[in-house]
Structure 1
């Protein structure tokens, strides 16, 4: 059984159209899953969210070289993407030969409650496949199929989980520089009494750089957690037992797989921490800017108060001049009226005496009217 998993950088690979023209093809899920006859065996494909798996099964022939058949190679080549996992599972019946694996460093485990044994060196063959040898001692066809599927899923999801490793390595390499920039920014915040525009620009650039890293990494890190959980679940389902003089398969995988997963988790945690710290620095900077704005507003309000006070003094002065000017014209009008009294035959001397008493009355009346109008304007009501 040859099994490959193919991924692309952005979207899941497209199912080759050649598969739908094969002999006896049967599909489900709008062609995302299917099985068809190819040569002496059967080819099965499955489209997952991030990758496509192609599995070719054919009866083993003694002495046949363990190389993928040409029809299977053509299908793999026709599928866009890169091969992330390649597994060859060889199922045999009975006990493993006593001398099996003695020439190399093989690991082995009893699985399925001791009804089968799995042996592998986990080294790539000349064809680029990891070979797994399953010796069936008591599994029926159903259990054999499920056991083979678990083995394939362990290797496939293990490699899919490790896709985040290059991203984690890149983030860990860039984090020291980001830490240094953040430390410099905090030092400037502590040293400067006034927030400068350059400081705001640096915070913006630092935040955008971290967001860019997070956008590329968060999804990949989340997928690693999910795939690692699937690998752990499938290894538990093997019900593994020890084979004499052999290292067990699951501990062998764990010792090489878990450090990489922990490294990815550590990179994700460090990225989250620096994101939180930059957020705190941004909040601190925002608070500093707010305090500066409040100080500027206080100075502006004080300046407005001073201008208002000056305007009140000017208004009062203008009001006094207005009283004088209006009184002057009113007195002149009264004088003109009194001078014309003689034309009517009245006593001119009595009119002049009355004129001197009219002046204070006119000034007082004008002052009262102007004051009344000013009060109405200040109160926001129309003058009467």
Structure 2
């Protein structure tokens, strides 16, 4: 009855298949020793990654091989005796070639016979930058230590028994004259599934390790810039303590803004790198914790060997990242403080300017009052003169008036009337100026 249930009655989430299928992505291979693995990791993002993917698809088509789906991130194909695994990650792609050496036990496993691998790599030519190149061999050997000492540099040889003790893993983590890092697995009785899982985790460790250490280069390149900006910030803060005046504060603010812009430009590109290094290092530590068991007497384990250099490198990345965050906050605070001082200086200048305008307006008002007083006297003199002519004219035509007496009496009346008219006009103008501009709308 349960087999008859149908999920088509529901609206399925568009990412449901991808989310459920993620746990089955990049499955472990079933391997039987002896065999050899050659693994490459190439950094490629954006258009370069898309171009490399198209080249791989074209390679499959030209050789009549199964072509991966457009959304696939993992593909496995067989080319004669070689199994080719292709994987695409967020910032790199990997090619893993695996072939058995059981038919030629006398052949050196690090030298693929017939040049097939070399011809494959030419056919799979990619634009991405090669970062990782690994040669891994797995074989059954009752004396893992002796064989490892013959293959690797004893000064940097690291060996460890995996959990359960069914295999011993060895490497010196050095790059040989061909540019490869070599790893050896001594199979002491692993099942095909466990051996395939071990190979994939070892390859992942040696792939993620250099990817994690890319952050160290970024940290070393960025450290002088952080030191220079931090030192200049201290100098600017010291100059700011004794800085007075808008011009000097504005100059310091402009310089501080330029420092912040330069710092953010250099820091932005490193944020991704530091975050990626932290994530890759966590993956390395996770894979090591899964595979490592007991140590091999006389040799460091992989964890202890890698920790000697990876741990300081990761601490350096973390330190530079923390300094970046702290310096960014300090720059923002200093800029805010300087901007406040500049605003205060501008407000002080505006206050002085308004005070000067106010004083000038008062002076103009006094001058206007003086001019108005003189104007009343001048107009009064003119009106009295006209009235004097009228009084004299009236006396000349025979009216019994005394021009001098009438003129003297008219003077205060004329001046008073003229002053009152001038006062009313000025009062009316002031009243119109006091009314808000929108009151009459």
TM-score range, shorter chain: 0.7 to 0.9
Q: Report the TM-score, using the length of structure 2 for normalisation.
A: 0.76
Shift of 1:349: 0.8
Distance change in 2, residues 1:146/1:115 (3 Å): same
Shift of 1:178: 3.0
What value does the CA root-mean-square deviation take over the aligned residues?
A: 3.1
Shift of 1:159: 0.7
- Which one of 20, 30, 33 corresponds to residue 60 of structure 2? 20
CA contact under 8 A between 2:148 and 2:184: conserved in structure 1? no
CA contact under 8 A between 1:376 and 1:382: conserved in structure 2? no
Tell me what 2:192 maps to. Answer: 141
CA contact under 8 A between 1:12 and 1:51: conserved in structure 2? no
Shift of 1:118: 1.7
Distance change in 2, residues 1:225/1:126 (3 Å): same
Tell me what 2:206 maps to. Answer: 155
Deviations 1:204-242 (A, max 9, x none): 432233223212322211221121122222222225332
Shift of 1:27: 1.0
Q: For 1:1-384, what aligned pairs fall within 5 Å after superposition? A: 1-8=37-44, 13=49, 14-15=52-53, 16-17=55-56, 18-21=58-61, 22-30=63-71, 32-60=73-101, 61-65=104-108, 66-67=110-111, 69-75=117-123, 78-93=125-140, 97=144, 99-103=146-150, 104=152, 105=154, 106-194=157-245, 195-196=247-248, 198-332=251-385, 334-335=387-388, 347-349=399-401, 355-380=407-432
Q: Distance in 2 between matches of 1:346 and 1:234?
A: 135
Q: Distance in 1 between matches of 2:304 and 2:47?
A: 33
Deviations 1:133-174 (A, max 9, x none): 233445443333332222111111111111122221122234
Q: Secondary structure at the match of 1:287?
A: helix
Q: Distance in 1 between matches of 2:327 and 2:271?
A: 14
Q: Secondary structure at the match of 1:56?
A: strand
Distance change in 2, residues 1:294/1:382 (3 Å): closer
Shift of 1:55: 1.0
Q: Distance in 2 between matches of 1:32 and 1:5?
A: 14
Q: Distance in 1 between matches of 2:324 and 2:79?
A: 48
Q: Distance in 2 between matches of 1:281 and 1:340?
A: 87
Tell me what 2:10 maps to. Answer: none
- The unaligned stretches of length 5 or more in structure 2 are 1-36, 436-441
Q: Distance in 2 between matches of 1:179 and 1:274?
A: 7
- Tell which deviates more after alignment, 130-139 or 351-360: 351-360
CA contact under 8 A between 2:160 and 2:292: conserved in structure 1? no
Shift of 1:298: 2.4
Q: Distance in 2 between matches of 1:32 and 1:329?
A: 106
Q: Report the TM-score, using the length of structure 1 for normalisation.
A: 0.86
CA contact under 8 A between 2:139 and 2:185: conserved in structure 1? yes
